[in-house]
Amino acid sequence: MAVHRFKALEEVLNRIPVNIDLPSETVSDYYGTNVFGQDSMREYLSEEAYSSVMAAIETGSRIERKMADQVAAAMKAWSKTKGVSHYTHWFQPLTGATAEKHDAFFTPIEGGKAIEKFGGDQLVQQEPDASSFPSGGIRNTFEARGYTAWDPTSPAFVIGKTLCIPTVFVSYTGEALDFKTPLLKALHGLDKAATSVCQYFDKNVSKVTATLGWEQEYFLIDTALFNARPDLIMTGRTLFGHASAKGQQLEDHYFGSIPDRATSFMRELEIESWQLGVPIKTRHNEVAPNQFECAPVFEECNLAVDHNQLLMDMMEKVARRHNFRVLLHEKPFAGINGSGKHNNWSLGTNTGKNLLSPGKTPKTNLQFLTFFINTIKAVHDNADLMRASIASANNDHRLGANEAPPAIMSIFIGSQLTQVFSELEKKVKSGKMTPDEKSALKLGIGKIPDILLDNTDRNRTSPFAFTGNKFEFRAVGSSANCAGAMTVLNAIVTDQLVHFKKDVDQLMNKGVEKDEAIFQILVDYIKSSKKILFEGNGYGEEWVKEAAKRGLNNIKTTPQALDAFVSPKTLQLFERNQVMSAREQEARHAIYLETYTKKIQIESRIIGDLSLNQIIPTAIRYQNLLIDNVYRMKELFNSSEFKSNALTQLEMIKEISERISVIKTSVDEMTEERKKANGIEDHKKQAVAYCEKVKPYFEKIRYNTDKLELIIEDELWPLPKYRELLFTK
Ligand code: ADP
Ligand code: MG
């Protein structure tokens, strides 16, 4: 039975805030207590085993089975102190969520007894019954099952009474079935490529790590209201709902204090995060009502991805305890800002240097410019792939919707660095430079840190912006696994750095001095990638025109955007850098298309169901009231009085009939289109059919439903309205 919204509202008004027990210790006392991190490892592992794990983390070396046995024993002993009974391999299948299969530690033995058993075998590898995870055909063709394998670079942690072991998820033939496997490979490649480029500047660099700091946006909606909206329950977004009289125009939520109930949710989320070593640092309101954001201190990319996945899981759990539901969907409400997940990305060295932060000397600034310009070139050359990396049915609502970055990839670098670029173009010559020219050049780049210090210009409309010491990929969706975007970004930068090294070495082999060679190649890159740099308003119509003139793509929908994943260029890039084989990438493409199709299919079904089972019946009920009223008027008035007095009612009756008719006809037509689309075998064609034939009905049905919401008696309307979802506290 659908819950009427009045019942739900009553529940909300009677809510008693949930009190949480605040730990009496300070954060530093309980930070990371639920993580089998370095401290616990030191305590529970032999020196040898500890070094073996640390070497795996730092250099990617293999951990021998004997050591794995020791680590397993140590993990078990440590978890025992936390009262843990089960363990699980925790992994990130391509569905976007995280998955786990819990196994008990105990094993039955003779005599009706049991012992606790957890050895290297159980730690290193496990077969989840995974036949229902998407595999794009890989597993079906080769093997029925995939297996999970321990990722020692991300520490195990305890949630409740379960020890969670971060793992990769691969098929028996070794193909990646998850987000983590290709990310780890991309990060490994990046380390090698970037370290070798660093050798031009600093021989002490032996490792380069990609860093990620994400900013997670989300909405909090009361559970009772959520439960009264089948569309929210089933799709995570409202498929109907007229805008409320007040929206976000006053921006009073953004500047307001965080409401008590939300604060209490956040505090509990933070405490749990800190115990799990997730370094959540900031929290604030976002632009839309009931919208919030939290962000951690940045970390090594793979760990940051795991922590974001973990945080999203915890948000769900903690929210329920506070009678909230958390909406991670990119666009839960029409006409209200959607949610994103900015991915702040940079590169750090083992010597403690941020490679995207200008230094104090011309030498370190040449290093900065090298990584800065190579990143720009990588994004320029692979803009479509970057676009593909953030494509999803959900994110289609956001990109280009004048509140989120456009679907056109561009890079904002700020006016000062633009100035530096044009100076470089002017000063760097392809022939030999005179000593004077060289020192002028070096003097010029030596000034970068000073100018960046007062670089306050920020561009909120750019999908990929340089923010002083990092790039911010702002087009990532709020529900996405960051690994999707991060795998692509790290892989294309890897590929670019390898090219760069070759280009510079080639010039040096021809006798060009190192710094000059670097300058020349960088200026070449600036020239060839310049068209992707854009400082203006990314939301404006002018930019759409200007971008077209520049030859930048504006790919509006997911089925089309995903093409870039399987272009020969991408397949070669991934293979060349050992991130993914063509087969893996093609399988992934198929999965993403299927996911798209399923999402639109589900939304379409819910729209149909709600229209026929709730909206139209409600409209008819109200229409009957009006008809009744008209009949009574007829009895009451003489015929000329009746004509003038019943006019409004008659018009309303007519309008309701018309809207019902449009809704019903559209639902029927949409269902027919769905049937046709379901018969299409080819994944791409099917996704396109859902996008171009099925989805256009959503707007039409919604428009008419929302108009009905405006005229139908408030008491009768079954679904919580926007004002209630967004403003009831
Ligand atoms: P804002 O961008 O709002 O000014 P910050 O500069 O503090 O705020 O950073 C926002 C996000 O960027 C945070 O998650 C932060 O951890 C992350 N960040 C900062 N420096 C780096 C870095 N070197 N690499 C990756 N992320 C970073
Ligand atoms: Mg930001």
pLDDT band at 140 (very low <50, low <70, confident <90, very high): low
CA nearest 378: which of 389, 366, 393?
389
Contact 233, 227 (CB under 8 A): yes
CATH top-level class of 187-580: alpha beta
Report the number of secondary-structure helices (H) and strands (E) in the chain: 31, 17
Pairwise CA distance, residues 217 & 342, whole Å: 9
Q: What is the pLDDT of residues 627-649, one digit of tens each?
A: 999 999 999 999 999 989 999 99
474 lines ligand 1 (CB under 6 A): no
344 lines ligand 1 (CB under 6 A): yes
469 lines ligand 1 (CB under 6 A): yes
For residue 184, pLDDT beyond 80: yes
663 lines ligand 1 (CB under 6 A): no
- Element at 473 (helix H, strand E): strand 471-473
Q: What are the residues facing 349 on neighbouring strands?
A: 208
Reported in sequence order, the residue ranges of 86-180 that DSSP labels E, i.e. its strands, are 86-91, 99-104, 106-109, 113-116, 125-126, 146-150, 157-159, 162-171
Ligand nearest to the CA of 284: 1
458 lines ligand 1 (CB under 6 A): no
Distance 379 CA to ligand 1 centre (A): 20
Q: 595-727 is classed in which CATH architecture?
A: Up-down Bundle (1.20)
pLDDT band at 406 (very low <50, low <70, confident <90, very high): confident
Which of 307, 470, 473, 486 to probe ligand 1 with, by most ligand atoms within 8 A of CB? 470
Specify the pLDDT at position 367. Answer: 95
User: Among 416-420, 503-507, 617-621, 711-715, whose mean pLDDT is lowest?
Assistant: 416-420
Distance 342 CA to ligand 2 centre (A): 6
295 lines ligand 1 (CB under 6 A): yes
Distance 89 CA to ligand 1 centre (A): 30
Which of 344, 349, 474 to probe ligand 1 with, by most ligand atoms within 8 A of CB? 344
Pairwise CA distance, residues 140 & 76, whole Å: 35
Distance 342 CA to ligand 1 centre (A): 10
- Element at 348 (helix H, strand E): strand 341-349
User: Among 106-115, 209-218, 334-343, 692-701, whose mean pLDDT is lowest?
Assistant: 106-115
Q: What is the pLDDT of residues 342-359, one digit of tens each?
A: 999 999 999 999 999 988
**Average pLDDT in the chain:** 91
Tell which atom from ligand 1 comes closest to the C-alpha of 214: 14
Distance 418 CA to ligand 2 centre (A): 21
Ligand nearest to the CA of 213: 1
> Where do the structural domains in the chain lie, given as residue ranges?
31-178, 187-580, 595-727
CA quadruple 256, 297, 387, 412: dihedral, nearest 10: 80
CA 61 vs CA 24, 57, 108, 306, 409: distances in Å: 41, 8, 35, 21, 37
Other C-beta atoms within 10 Å of 443: how many? 10
> Do the domains 187-580 and 31-178 match in fold?
no
Residue nearest to atom 7 of ligand 1 (CA): 297
Distance 139 CA to ligand 1 centre (A): 39
DSSP 3-state percent helix, strand, coil across the chain (nearest 5): 55, 15, 30
461 lines ligand 1 (CB under 6 A): no
For residue 205, pLDDT beyond 70: yes
- The domain over range 31-178 is classified in CATH as 3.30.1550.10: no
Distance 585 CA to ligand 2 centre (A): 30
pLDDT band at 129 (very low <50, low <70, confident <90, very high): low
Token pair for 623: 């229409």
For residue 131, pLDDT beyond 70: no
- Element at 219 (helix H, strand E): strand 208-222
Pairwise CA distance, residues 518 & 526, whole Å: 12
CA 514 vs CA 304, 331, 511: distances in Å: 36, 50, 9
Straight-line distance from the first to the last Cα atom of the chain, in angstroms, rounded to the nearest whole number: 25
CA atoms within 13 A on the CB side of 330: 26
Amino acid letter for position 647: L
Tell which atom from ligand 1 comes closest to the C-alpha of 472: 12
Q: What is the pLDDT of residues 650-689, one digit of tens each?
A: 999 999 999 999 999 999 999 999 999 999 999 999 999 9
DSSP state of 286: -
297 lines ligand 1 (CB under 6 A): yes
Distance 183 CA to ligand 2 centre (A): 23
